[in-house]
Amino acid sequence: MVSIDPHRRSGIMVGMSDTSVNSTRLAAVLTAIDEANTADPKQVPTDDGPLPAALVYGRRMSAELADLVPDAGEPLQIAVRGQHIERFRRPRDQYPMTREGYLAWRRDAARFHAERLAELMRDAGYDQPTIERVGQIVRKQNIKRDPDAQALEDCAALVFLRHELDDFICAHPEYDEQRMLRILRKTWKKMSPAGHDRALAIAFSDIAAPWIKKALAETETA
């Protein structure tokens, strides 16, 4: 079992506010999410050595939220940390490799994540309205009118751009230029202005920087 500090990820302390860490229930749920995610068989390299991918993802999501929304409420903190809780139990290859299959997988996965978080929140003593609120955020309902759902979307995009983009580019040499640019522009379009500001501050690698520059140049002229 990996030893879990609910406010730490990949060698970086997650700077949630003092008021947030004073919530015993919140700390219990964040710890339970991390413990569930330690079962992910996939390992990723971190400053602390290899760690379960799902665990690292949740911590990185919380780190982005701490910067993006320092005063985030408990429902948003839980939704962000647990957006992909135990996603390894819902592999993409269990669904048809078609767009319809992809959409069904995404829909079922979001439902599964919301249900798992509901279980952990009930165990920690949260009331039903708060549990339902977390589910709404995780499912990104009414994202254009819900700042919390948009914040979750921003965090996911920032984790992708900051931590995953290099590997994604290298893993898909079969993608032509236009396909890669469409993916980056679609990611950018989903983000809020605040998310854009944080993304522009990322020190992209020599692998990612040319792609980002070209994608944004085409976005500005579109």
Could you give the CA distance from residue 108 to residue 135 in angstroms, rounded to a whole number? 13
pLDDT digit string, tens, across residues 124-177: 999 999 999 999 999 998 898 999 999 999 999 999 999 999 999 999 999 999
Provide the phi-psi class of 127: left if phi over 0, else alpha when psi is between -120 and 50, else beta.
beta
How many CB atoms are closer than 10 A to CB 19? 11
Higher-pLDDT residue of 171 and 14 is 171
Contact criterion met (CB below 8 Å) for 86 and 69: no
Contact criterion met (CB below 8 Å) for 120 and 35: no
Q: How confident is the model at residue 121 (pLDDT cuts 50, 70, 90)?
A: very high
| Tokens standing for residue 145 | 């009118």
DSSP one-letter string for 182-216: HHHHHHHHHS-HHHHHHHHTS---TTTHHHHHHHH
Quick one: pLDDT at residue 66?
A: 97
| Tokens standing for residue 71 | 């005063």
Quick one: pLDDT at residue 35?
A: 98
